[in-house]
Amino acid sequence: MRRTRASYDPVHSDLLRTLPRVPQDALGRVGRLLAARRSVYLTVGAAVVLPRLAVVLIERGQITQPFTYAEKSDDIARIYLSSGTFGFIPGMPTAYTQPLYSFFLIPLYWTFGRSWEVIGSAQIVVSLVTAILVYEIGRRWLDRWAGLAAALIVAFHPYAIWHDVHVNREILDGLIAAAIFLIAMRLIDRRSVVLAAALGVVFGLAILGNVRLTVLPLVLAALFLYYWRPSRESFVAISVMIVAAVVVVTPWVVRNKVSVGCFAVTTDSRALWEANNPATLGVLRSGGWIDNVPLPKSFPPSAQDAGRAYHRRGKIFSVDECAQVPFYEHKVEHFWEHDPIEKVKLAAQGTLMLWSPKVSPPETGGVTVKWVTGLRETVEPVYMTPVLLLALFGLTRVRRRFAVLALTFLAYQWALAMIFVGATRYRVPWDFVSALLAAAALVDLSERWRRRRGAVQT
């Protein structure tokens, strides 16, 4: 007997008849959304990966240059894998630099080895995730086209294309900053203890990557309290966020007390002095960097200096890192107290260097393919000038809460530039904020142009 088609139709099952049926138009919308998201991710992926891959291939011989322009974290990662010591010299642990980037490099080197392929590929992946987070921020709080535009602005950023594939800790700063912005916006819209805890964990990682962000959790806590209004629930959520950040940072701080001798995230206070002394302004105005500030012979060598001496000449000498922290902090406080006018000038110089669309400062060391860096320095101001101008207009085109959070992020970076010093490499991880605002402006302008064109045609 021939079976009919209906006998195989699950709709005719008595069991399935009792289940709710999903409207076909809803299924179609879900399918279209998934297809659109996949298309966006592929577009953003191509925009991020292809130009960075080209730079990796061009500069492949320079990415792993030893003890020249290499990031301190790279030196520490190699020493750790060869000796088990988190430091510049085997058997001499250090707390001289923030540890997060070393924590990123160590498992990479241990698993795949240290090579330009490994470093370039891993950091391209980080750049891709950052761009996707930027898209998600824009999609959720602006417009899906604004999210795509912002992600593409971040992807094609000339300085970032070059910088992202070289050994540098700022690659993680950008990823973490985008994650902070995303979670913070969700918290502003809806108070949640779980989200507050997640943000606290991300803040802890941010501080381990860049100690200058230590105050940012308190700044955002005040912002949350403003939007949530003071209440028991609000204070609980804020407390959870701060405690989570402390829990993440505490093991490293305790390790430094045990291994180095003091509670600290980093003992590199000399960098603060290099950015705040009577000679700094002249060095910066002459086109140099704070590393070029002359160090008096009476000043103690840093842990990094000891590491360089060990690797270049085999010389080993101990460094009291903990004693250097108050030594340099006292010098900085004395400078601020006795030469406030010079500090004001330094703050203005730092502001100029931070917000200038030109690359600042010029490279102070390392071996690179010169025409690549020359191209980057030529294209960067042409690219960033309209982005920054559009971002100013974009502030008036976004929700007030979004604008307030964006301004908080940018103002915090500005304050850091005035206290320390500004530079393109410090601004770039946070340029996604300007990209989001610029994208909102572009979408608004394109919509106005479309309406005007439609009105003319009718």
Nearest-angstrom CA–CA distance, 420 and 187: 30
pLDDT at residue number 291? 87
Whether 169 contacts 98, CB under 8 Å: yes
Nearest-angstrom CA–CA distance, 259 and 92: 9
pLDDT at residue number 35? 64
State both tokens at 140. Answer: 């959720």
Q: Give the mean pLDDT per block of 10 residues along the chain (458 residues).
A: 41 42 54 70 95 91 61 91 94 94 96 94 96 96 94 95 88 96 97 97 97 96 95 96 98 97 94 94 91 90 90 84 94 95 95 91 56 79 96 96 97 95 92 97 92 76
pLDDT at residue number 287? 85
Q: Quick one: which of 191, 232, 190, 237 has its CA closest to 217? A: 237
pLDDT at residue number 17? 47
Whether 325 contacts 256, CB under 8 Å: no
Nearest-angstrom CA–CA distance, 53 and 273: 38
Question: What is the SS3 string spanning the chain?
Answer: CCCCHHHHCHHHCHHHHCCCCCCHHHHHHHHHHHHHHHHHHHHHHHHHHHHHHHHHHHCCCCCCCCCCCCCHHHHHHHHHHHHCCCCCECCECCCCCCCHHHHHHHHHHHHHCCCHHHHHHHHHHHHHHHHHHHHHHHHHHCCHHHHHHHHHHHHCCHHHHHHCCCCCCHHHHHHHHHHHHHHHHHHHHCCCHHHHHHHHHHHHHHHHHCHHHCCHHHHHHHHHHHHHCCCHHHHHHHHHHHHHHHHHHHHHHHHHHHHCCCCCCCCCCHHHHHCCCCCHHHHHHCCCCHHHCCCCCCCCCCHHHHHHHHHHHCCCCCCCHHHHHHHHHHHHHHHHHHCHHHHHHHHHHHHHHHHCCCCCCCCCCCCCCHHHHHHHHHHHHHHHHHHHHHHHHHCCCCCHHHHHHHHHHHHHHHHHHHHCCCCHHHHHHHHHHHHHHHHHHHHHHHHHHHHHHHHHHC
pLDDT at residue number 343? 96
pLDDT at residue number 317? 82
pLDDT at residue number 9? 43
pLDDT at residue number 23? 54
pLDDT at residue number 415? 96
Question: Residues 356-383: pLDDT tens digits?
Answer: 999 887 654 444 566 667 777 889 999 9
Q: Where are the domains of the chain?
A: 24-286+323-457
pLDDT at residue number 13? 42
Q: Which residues contact 22 (CB under 8 A, 6 or more apart)?
A: none
